[in-house]
Amino acid sequence: MDAKSGNNRPCFPDGRHAGYAFARPIVFQTGGVMSHSILWSLVLAVHLLGMAAWVGGMIYAVFVLRPSLGLLDAIPRASVHLQTLNRFFRIVWHVMPMVLVTGWLMILHEGGFAAIAWQINLMQLLGLMMALIFARIYFGPYQKARRAMRPQPAMFDSIRSQILINIGLGVLTIITASLAHPF
């Protein structure tokens, strides 16, 4: 047990936790060296940037874009809405797996799923729920709106209501992540 932080994970005499037992420098073929802490900081940065893009994009779509579209007539409004959602969903299809994989890599780095705090498990569950809701939006109402000759506002309302649920889950995920941080 770590006397300084009160952490129950096994601790080495130099203060490293068991998850860092294999923390040795990475040597590149060019001869450069990168420490493990820098590598894992980059993995965390990719994870956080992905979540910022995903949650921030949803907030933008619902609270900025949608009200602004009210200034357009029905046909251009539907066209702009679909084009914007298409671009955003393409981003999410890349970001979502990246966020999940980097999260799982950090869990494995910390000693595996059994060694992590309950907040991290909750964060993982919320992230998986967000991914499932996104898939439901994409393959459900979004595809219907895309295939429709003239998408009706009700189709976009269905997308909006599910994105609002995902925004709530995203904010809850961020709060849960901050609860797990040992200040």
Q: Where are the domains of the chain?
A: 35-180
Distance, in Å, from the CA atom of 128 to the CA atom of 108, rounded to the nearest integer, reads 17
The mean pLDDT value of the chain amounts to 85
**Helices first, then strands: H and E counts in the chain:** 6, 2
Tokens of 149: 């000759």
Does 166 score more than 70 pLDDT? yes
**What is the CB neighbour count within 10 angstroms for residue 137?**
22
- Can you give the pTM of this predicted structure? 0.77
What pLDDT score does 23 carry? 46
More confident residue, 12 or 52: 52
Give long-range contacts, CB 8 A cutoff, 24+ apart: 9-15: 9/111, 9/115
pLDDT tens-place string over residues 105-153: 999 988 888 888 899 999 999 999 999 999 999 999 999 999 998 888 8
pLDDT tens-place string over residues 24-50: 444 445 555 556 788 899 999 999 999
What pLDDT score does 6 carry? 54
pLDDT tens-place string over residues 50-98: 999 999 999 999 999 999 999 999 889 999 999 999 999 999 999 999 9
